[in-house]
Structure 1
Amino acid sequence: MGTPFSAKTQLASITEVLRTIAGPLDLNVSVRLWDGSVVPLGPNADGRLILSLSGPGVIGSMLRRPTLETLVRLYATGHIEFEGGDLIEFTKALRTERSNRAELKKISKAMVVRKTIPFLFAKTKTGDLDHGYRDDMVGRKESARNNTDYIQFHYDVGNDFYKLFLGEEMQYTCGYFTDWSNSLDQAQHDKLNMICRKLRLEPGERMLDIGCGWGGLICHAAKHFGVTAHGVTLSQEQHDFAKAKIERLGLQDQVTVEICDYADHQGTYDKISSIGMSEHIGAANYPRYFGKINSMLRDRGVMLNHAIARRAKTSKKAAQRIRPERQFILKYIFPGSELTPVGETTESLELNGFEVHDVESWREHYAHTTRFWCQNLSANREQAIELVGREKYNLWVAYLAGASAGFTAGSIKLYQVVATKRAKKGLSGMPPTREHLYRAA
């Protein structure tokens, strides 16, 4: 069904709406309409950052279904484009102050409704994005989870794709910035060092890394701290990359890697790391997860859990609610993932035989890391599109930019928790201070 309104009427209507809201918005962003005309969204907009709309159907789609899902579809399919800067810049530029929001509320709603009526029947073709996870995206119950499918959906997008933005170390968790001006590669190297120090690794010890990624930590721990390290992953792509890295570094006598679910792994270790892994487990499955880790640690053995977290909620109902940005991530990026407050992690550790010693927030470090990732991926746009297609590339840019905004605002967080396996009696064996963490490298 076509629209009963002329193209001229539609352009005049949306131009008037944009000019009306431009004053209160006061943004350094302009909108390019489908006829090529440009409307600034603030009196001081310099014209560098431009939000481009492909046609009247973009506005019609947002009017009929004003959701994040609609916005993501329009962006992924190229009906909304960002020109003159990367999505990180636009995310910052599109923020409005509270005072501006108050002024926006004074604008006549009747006028806005009247001027947007010409778009109610305007449509655009976005279709059903062929990149979403089509089974149980949440997987809170262990019986409903398919961890192998979840991991492969996310990580087996291809090593070449991840190389475009992760950096030299192929680290897919946040770096540790000893100075905010440090490079991403330096921050990732310093992160690996800090984890090894927190674990108090000693030559000859046995270490397990659950969800070992591309093998960065196990290789670093063996090479620089003299341990014998083993990594487990469910991703074939990661396994093959890690195995090749081990051989390239000549660490075959110290480092091994296998495709294995953590629940099926057997062995006894002095130290265990879980870096960016527990988000994939689900809160209901924490007892099984931390109980399994406990069973593989020697008495007084040290474990480190590094995980993204959310704010605590005032009620169980609020905690169970899945916000739109989480729905986007569950469907298109990380099916089966779940974020919990750090208190749930420490409580579960204590209930499953651990003594918690240290909790440290690395939220700002992840804000910096995801900004680097988004900028790196944007800088390699053509190569990324060649590998995964434009729609998937756009989904990933949106995900990384949104993550950076979330960590910057504090709506999502990152904590490292250090704990020891409780001995039947006696001291934990942890040092009296944390001076060893900050000694010169």
Structure 2
Amino acid sequence: MSRELGTERELQATKAVIGELAKHLDVNICLELWDGTIIPLGQGAQEEIRFVIASANVLRRLLRQPSLISVAELYATGDLDVVGANPVDAMRHVDHLQFLALPRKVNKARMLKMALPILLKSYSVSSFVKRFTKEAGVTPNSGRNDKEMIGFHYDLSNEFYSLFLDKEMVYSSAYFPTPDSSLDEAQLYKLDLICRKLRLAPGDKLFDPGCGWGGLLCHAARHYGVEAYGTTLSEEQFAHVKAKVATMGLGDRVKVELRDCRSLADDQIFDKIAQVEMIEHVGIANHQDFYKYLRKHMRPRGVYFGQASFRRNTARPEDFPRLTPYMQFIIKYIFPGGELDHIGMTTGVLEQAGFEVHEVEAVREHFGYTTEHWVRRLYDRREEGAALVGMPQTRIWLLYLSLCALSFHRGALNAFQVIATNRRSGASGIGFDRTTVYGGARRVDADDARANMLKSA
């Protein structure tokens, strides 16, 4: 946190600037300055939840570099804080579009004159925030190091992720049977839904590329009797899955390897493939080759399940590749090399790669609930997070998850589940009643699954 609070002139200038900006805002929140002054940012704004500015350096930086990156770094170091609520609840009171419209509403010459005592000094930048500084690269053949980027995100520590994930350590959108279902209930429901959508049957060979902490692998093997194989590039995830499989006694049905999922032996063929929120790491330029690769390792009419986050499409195709401020923040601090396509792009590329698309289900609001649960859980255990990865990193994650929650709730981001098959002429094998029984897939207990597998052998 900045030690230099600012001179009296800077304090008065800050009050004048914030007061002028507040005339053009109507948000239900207040701003607290370092001397204790509280300034409402809207008519009747409540004081219980407040944004707190720790020094003149905060406004100095925001005036010179007004960006989400600036807000993120200031929040991470505590120079910009929220009191009275967790970040997602606080930001619900803020319409960010009002802030984006400010440059068109304020008198710039008047603002410059008021802010001059603040702008005379340069702002300082903290070095305590972990960021990814390398170029991601477009393809694996052009310097894209996926293992390094995956490690940046997932190898923080398994203990850190356990602070906010469910008991099964599922790091993807849950599926809530009801809005008041618990996170643990919703994640188990989602795992079971994936198995049913895949029409899993005892003896099926299931591939989970980017298998995370092994929740789906173990659930499918235990309850649907499949032979499950997963890959990950994360050292931390790999260690966790190996230990989990051993503890559950699933070593004869679940195998996980620390390797790139694109390095399978040519003769490894699967009946079903589940790709759960890992395509975001692949890079849009690599999507078509990646789906072709998956299809090469599927039997004819093998079933593919995909779940991912998506951006909205743009009116002009040439505008879509432009990085939004949100995505610039994400790739710098959270997901280096990450990219989100739109749902039309995904279904189109799947068809180009030789798949037949059967089902597309929007799960945006489920992801909003999921990320909101993650925020609340991490916020309640933020001191434990700080002990594991440092407070700046913990606060960056709180901001990231809060922005995700609001983006899904407001529809700025979307999420979909997609079912496709390895296309062949003739019947798809999917069946007709897909909204209830998903082709007759049913859970089996572990003993039944083992017995069926021995019979088939």
Q: What TM-score comes out, normalization by structure 1 length?
A: 0.93
Deviations 1:304-331 (A, max 9, x none): 1111111112334312211221111111
Deviations 1:357-377 (A, max 9, x none): 001111111111111111111
2:372 matched residue in structure 1: 371
1:196 to 2:195 alignment: yes
Counterparts of 1:180 and 1:257, CA distance in 2: 34
Q: In the alignment, is the contact (CA less than 8 A) between 1:208 and 1:273 conserved in 2? A: yes
Deviations 1:274-318 (A, max 9, x none): 001111111211122111111111111101111111111233431
Q: In the alignment, is the contact (CA less than 8 A) between 1:154 and 1:334 conserved in 2? A: yes
The 5 A counterparts of 1:114-263 are 114-137=113-136, 139=138, 142-263=141-262
Aligned residue identity for 2:202: P
Counterparts of 2:188 and 2:116, CA distance in 1: 55
1:327 matched residue in structure 2: 328
The 5 A counterparts of 1:424-439 are 425-434=425-434, 435-437=436-438
The 5 A counterparts of 1:239-388 are 239-266=238-265, 267-388=268-389
Counterparts of 1:285 and 1:124, CA distance in 2: 40
1:38 matched residue in structure 2: 38
Q: What's the offset of the Cα at 1:124?
A: 4.5
Q: In the alignment, is the contact (CA less than 8 A) between 2:199 and 2:439 conserved in 1? A: no
Counterparts of 1:39 and 1:25, CA distance in 2: 12
SS of the equivalent of 1:207 reads strand
1:3 matched residue in structure 2: none
Q: In the alignment, is the contact (CA less than 8 A) between 2:304 and 2:420 conserved in 1? A: yes
Deviations 1:90-121 (A, max 9, x none): 211111687x9999966654433322122102
Counterparts of 1:428 and 1:362, CA distance in 2: 24
SS of the equivalent of 2:374 reads helix
1:113 matched residue in structure 2: 112
Query: Structure 2 vs 1, CA of residues 360 and 17 (structure 1 numbering), >3 Å: closer, same or farther?
Result: same
Deviates more, 1:154-163 or 1:122-131: 122-131
Q: What TM-score comes out, normalization by structure 2 length?
A: 0.89
Aligned residue identity for 2:407: G
Q: In the alignment, is the contact (CA less than 8 A) between 1:209 and 1:231 conserved in 2? A: yes
Counterparts of 1:97 and 1:194, CA distance in 2: 37
Q: In the alignment, is the contact (CA less than 8 A) between 1:31 and 1:51 conserved in 2? A: yes
Query: Structure 2 vs 1, CA of residues 91 and 437 (structure 1 numbering), >3 Å: closer, same or farther?
Result: farther
Deviations 1:327-356 (A, max 9, x none): 111111001111111111111111112111
Deviates more, 1:235-244 or 1:9-18: 9-18
Q: In the alignment, is the contact (CA less than 8 A) between 1:24 and 1:104 conserved in 2? A: no
Query: Structure 2 vs 1, CA of residues 189 and 314 (structure 1 numbering), >3 Å: closer, same or farther?
Result: same
Query: Structure 2 vs 1, CA of residues 339 and 101 (structure 1 numbering), >3 Å: closer, same or farther?
Result: closer
1:66 to 2:39 alignment: no
Q: What's the offset of the Cα at 1:259?
A: 0.8
Gaps of 5+ in 1: 1-5
Q: What's the offset of the Cα at 1:418?
A: 0.4
Aligned residue identity for 1:349: L
SS of the equivalent of 1:165 reads coil
Q: In the alignment, is the contact (CA less than 8 A) between 2:175 and 2:366 conserved in 1? A: yes
Deviations 1:112-155 (A, max 9, x none): 33221221024453234551112113636752311111111110
Q: What's the offset of the Cα at 1:204?
A: 1.3
Deviations 1:407-433 (A, max 9, x none): 11212111111001112x321111112
RMSD: 2.3
Q: In the alignment, is the contact (CA less than 8 A) between 1:21 and 1:104 conserved in 2? A: no
Counterparts of 1:74 and 1:236, CA distance in 2: 31
